[in-house]
A and B are shown apart, each in its own frame.
Chain A
Amino acid sequence: MPVYTVSNVQNLRICVVMVGLPARGKSFISQKIVRYLSWLSIKSKSFNVGNYRRQTGPPQPNAEFFDAKNKEAYKIRQQAVTKAVEDMMNWFVAEQGVVAILDATNSTRERRDWILRLCRENGIEPMFLESWCDDQELVLRNITDVKQTSPDYVGVDPEVAKRDFLERIAKYEEVYEPLDDNIDRDLTFVRLINVAQQVIINKIETYLESRVVFYVMNLHIKPRCIWLSRHGESVYNIEKKIGGDSSLSPRGLQYAKKLPDLVRQSAGDADLTVWTSTLIRTQETAQFLPYKQLQWKALDELDAGVCDGMTYEEIEEKYPEDFKARDEDKYEYRYRGGESYRDVVIRLEPIIMELERQENILIITHQAVLRCIYAYFMNVPQEESPWMSIPLHTLIRLEPRAYGTKVTRIKADIPAVSTYKEKGTSRVGEALTEATKSRHVLTNPSND
């Protein structure tokens, strides 16, 4: 049985059915929801009907293809959606999925009724999520994005692509039936009008659904950056001990002193807000920064319970079974009397929600916590995120964009010990082998 962290409702399965014309941000919202729920360990997947259509239909169809009167093309499109829905139903069963997202225009009532019936027959609750927009500026901005990312327009002249795309939208408009307050009053649905200027929420009946709606309402598309850093090297880091509440080493203090310059290099004169944990080493690291600062208990390092204050060697010696168990499933392993990565993710959730809303935040926190935050923005799977190497004395800049996040890292050039521990050893330090290379997301320059 899948593990739910947000809502433990047994047997609850939801299909979020996207509704709306092309270039209304449906895929963006779908991907965001999948990222958020996966990060919370709620099994979710997006099924993009466009991808299915490209498999059977022409690779780069023009607007004519999307004319509802084009019988031949209509058949191909019908097959694509049938295949997507079929795969989705299989996914619910085979992978014990909880939230599926059907990412397509689903623009006619006939289509939606068909999906509704199929879902209900399979014991799945459909929730319709419509993005409706008549703000031309917003639509044009989305079109620019689609042109750059859609396989339908690879290698096509931007102007031609734009014209064709507008024409395609017009074809959809001919048959489009938006959700109707009256006709669809018995459905569970959300309508976002011009991003979130007006939001209509109908018949939300479970906590999980309300959670998804709350998340979507907090999304914004303004450009912004997030800066992340671990605390400077601490006394415990040098002593190879984990946890504790020690202060910075002389080199760590050096990093703290250099940090204001590093941040200015990357952020310019922007006014940031600094979030730290409640532990001394992050506050000491932040002490020279000229910005407003807030402490969050939620940003404290993963609690190692009885192993707190021990070295990995000591743990291996004293708790050999625990040491092994942790290496086998680092995400789920909970230290005796302490926390697992999963526990950390749960307590970080309000931070993520707040981060989605805020602009320009600098977070100074700890290795495990940074791995979790980084995993959310970079969509790193659970099996990998606890093994990522995030070195000391490095400032990371994340730039969330519509279809992914851009990462830049700035090294402080102040030496520090490595606190990275490979699987199956109690020694700390990086030993980059071919097999583990993919984990070193941040030390591997090719990923920049």
Chain B
Amino acid sequence: MSAILSDDEEGNISISSQSLEHFKATSGNHMARINKRWSSSSSDKRPKLARPTDAVHENITANFISPGQLYSTESGRLFHAGKILIVLVGLPATSKTLLSVAITRYTKWLGVRTRSFHVSEYRRQKSNADSIEFPNDYFSAKPTTERGRKVRKETINQVLTDMIAFFDKDEGQLAIYDALNILEEERSHLDKLFLGLNIKVLFIESVITDPQLIKHNVEMASKSADYQGWTKSEAKSDFMNRLMVNKKLYEEMKPEENLSYLKYINFGEKLIVNNNHYGYLINKIVFFLMNLRDKKGCVYFARCGTSDQDNYIDDEVLNVEGIHYSKVLTDLVLKTINSRRISQCSTPVDVGSWQNSPSSGPTRSASPLIPTSATLRRSESTGNTSMRQPASGDGGDEDSFVVWTAPRKRTYDTAMFFIEKGVNVRQCSQLQQLHPGVVADVSEDEIKHNFPEEYKECLKDPYHYRYPRAESYHDLAVRMEPLLLEMERMRGDILIIGHESTLRVLYGYLMACSCSEIPSLKFTRNELIEISFSPYENKVRRIPIPINQKAS
């Protein structure tokens, strides 16, 4: 029996007459729940210290329980959807790896046992471990040499074997197969093979027709691990060669193939869902993909400034230190974003005049951020009825910058200098901190003393444990899910000023932390956290907040 609570355990709650007596004796008190929804052995054995790396590719242990898991069924699989294989389809440089990693991150967070299988990783490992030279035609869907065919077949078979083992032995529910799969014959073979094993197959085909996007993706690919030590132009022409060879062979998916597929065109500009029989889980993935965007900016996390009192029940204003902190934070965030924009920009847009202009003079531009080419495009489309109008402040543009704060007064006020500078600041009710229940404003020593039993229970599973009348981290994560999707949709920079509990949940999603790690993640007032995005994994940087410095 896995540690994930099965329907049986959760369902047939039979309360013995003895425990009913107990209820009567103590009725009128707040009672901690006696039926544990999450088994206390749920904590996995990984070290609890926060890793600086993204764990989206880590294997999940047999009794893994994910941050956003709502409930599980007897088999440990969610949404009663059975086992599903998602097969990525598409030419090189169509963001297949990014898609498979993003879906893995999201579904894992939802509690689905997901693993992505990247054929390119298999090849890299193989060539490192066995120092096998991969023939050049290996990269074609139809290699021309005997040796190319053999190596290609071996590699793919290895992936298939591992995927089947994942479903069979590791109780996997969702495998994501990241390879070209551009031939109709390959797809039909996969569909038959896995249907035979009672595993449903959904194809996600990424099609890119926008030349700008292709150019960007080729650029990215020529900087990948495959081309370490190559000159830029050699790398690019080699990659273009891989692309052209396969383009000739490519058979785009069509309804006549009679497969369930999702066409994902120009990174979400258009989606086509065909033959969708799989219900909720797939709809949920489509919903996610509607919001997934190629991010240009970063997500920043910061705490709010301090107030004189620090009680849960009060709604305090910032004190002098708190106001100073807000100023320093504003300067630091703007400086960080601008210096990144300068380093990324190939043709700097009038940087000089921006730096020289006084920050509060009448000549100040509306935005404290350096304009990018996207800014120019937007000013062209405003008022032009033939184009979709930009929704102000919704973060859809790659040069947008939005600040989210929790609804509490001092948190919102921490953003006051951003408002002054014309930055969009949004108060999000979902960022309301974890409800502490009876332990609100109670020190740890007092908890130990006044609630010894509860304290002991909490230590066993701090993620799922609720103090009487409190929210658990799990409750918080479920409540915050809409924010995760909004965060995915925003292409520019986001600064989130919030309580430590909510930052833990958001960070936990972006870095694929486990339940056992999230409650002990640390966010202090002397560090700004920056999370940057790349297709294979996300990266964290901790930037010191120079709180002793004079603010501008």
Contact = CB atoms under 8 A, between A and B. Distances in A.
Interface in A98-145: 116-117, 120-121, 123, 125
Contacts of A201: 270-273, 286, 290
Contacts of A200: 270-273
A303 B388 contact: no
Contacts of A7: 394, 486
Contact of A280 (B33, B275, B279, B392): B33
Interface residues of B, number: 71
A202 B475 CA distance: 34
A350 B14 CA distance: 27
Contact of A350 (B29, B269, B478): B478
B70 A350 contact: yes
B291 A207 contact: yes
Given A206-B391, A278-B33, A309-B30, A337 B429 contact: no
A2 B272 CA distance: 33
Nearest to B428: A8
Interface string B287-314: 1001100000000000000000000110
Contacts of B269: 202-203
B209 to A, nearest CB: 10
A286 B13 contact: yes
B272 A235 contact: no
Nearest to B487: A207
B284 to A, nearest CB: 8
B11 A292 contact: yes
A83 to B, nearest CB: 22
A125 B389 CA distance: 7
Interface stretch (A86-94, A153-161, A239-247, A257-265): A239-247
Interface residues of A, number: 72
A244 B485 CA distance: 34
B275 A294 contact: no
B10 interface: yes
Contact of B394 (A12, A120, A309, A350): A12
B233 interface: no
Interface in A244-284: 244-247, 274, 278-280, 283-284
Interface string A1-17: 00001111111100000
Interface in B352-403: 385-389, 391-394, 396
Interface stretch (B19-27, B89-97, B245-253, B526-534): B19-27
B482 A206 contact: no
Contact of A210 (B290, B388, B468): B290
A302 interface: no
B540 to A, nearest CB: 25
Nearest to B255: A198
B71 interface: yes
Interface stretch (A23-31, A51-59, A213-221, A401-409): A213-221
B212 interface: no
A332 interface: no
Nearest to A297: B475
A280 B14 contact: no
Contacts of B393: 9-11
Contact of A283 (B13, B392, B394, B428): B13
Contacts of B217: none
B525 interface: no
A327 interface: no
B426 A278 contact: no
B156 interface: no
B515 to A, nearest CB: 15
Nearest to B440: A337
Given A7-B486, A283-B35, A303-B435, A203 B272 contact: no
A5 B429 CA distance: 8
Contacts of A125: 388-389, 391
Interface in B47-76: 70-71
A257 to B, nearest CB: 13
Nearest to A278: B33
B270 A9 contact: no
- Give the most central of A8, A243, A279, A303: most B CB within 10 Å: A8
A207 B489 contact: yes
A296 interface: yes
Contact of A246 (B23, B389, B481): B23
B291 A210 contact: yes
Contacts of B27: 235-236, 246-247
Contacts of A63: none
Interface string B478-492: 110110011001000
A116 B389 CA distance: 12
Contacts of B481: 350
Contacts of A274: 11
Contacts of A181: 270
- Give the most central of B29, B273, B275, B428: most A CB within 10 Å: B273
Contacts of A293: 7, 10-13
B330 interface: no
Interface string A332-356: 0000110000010011001000100
Contacts of B386: 186
Nearest to A207: B486
A218 B284 CA distance: 9
A67 to B, nearest CB: 32
Contacts of B313: 306, 336-337
Contacts of B70: 296, 350
A247 B24 contact: yes
A357 B274 contact: no
A181 B265 CA distance: 12
Contact of B290 (A121, A213, A245, A278): A213
A244 B30 contact: yes
B276 interface: yes
B15 interface: yes
Interface string A181-224: 10001101000000011111111111100100110011000000
A214 B286 contact: yes
Contacts of B435: 303, 337
B215 interface: no
Contact of B23 (A8, A120, A280): A280
B271 A295 contact: no
A205 B71 contact: no
Contacts of A346: 429-430, 479
A218 to B, nearest CB: 6
Given A8-B428, A198-B275, A287-B13, A188 B312 contact: no
Interface string B254-281: 0100000000000011111111100110
Nearest to A274: B11
A246 B28 contact: yes
Given A125-B389, A196-B276, A198-B275, A295 B12 contact: no
B391 A214 contact: no
A382 B161 CA distance: 55
A357 B281 CA distance: 11
A354 B388 CA distance: 33
A219 B448 CA distance: 49
A284 B15 contact: yes
Contacts of A247: 20, 23-24, 27
B283 interface: yes
Nearest to A9: B394
5 contacts: A201-B271, A205-B391, A207-B394, A294-B7, A350-B478
Interface of B: 7, 10-15, 20, 23-24, 27-31, 33-35, 37, 70-71, 255, 268-276, 279-280, 283-284, 286-287, 290-291, 312-313, 385-389, 391-394, 396, 424, 426-430, 435, 440, 468-469, 472, 474-475, 478-479, 481-482, 485-486, 489
Closest 7 CB pairs of A and B: A247-B23, A293-B11, A214-B287, A210-B290, A235-B27, A120-B385, A201-B271
Given A306-B313, A343-B429, 13 more contacts: A9-B394, A10-B424, A11-B393, A188-B388, A201-B286, A202-B269, A205-B388, A207-B486, A214-B284, A247-B20, A283-B15, A292-B11, A294-B10
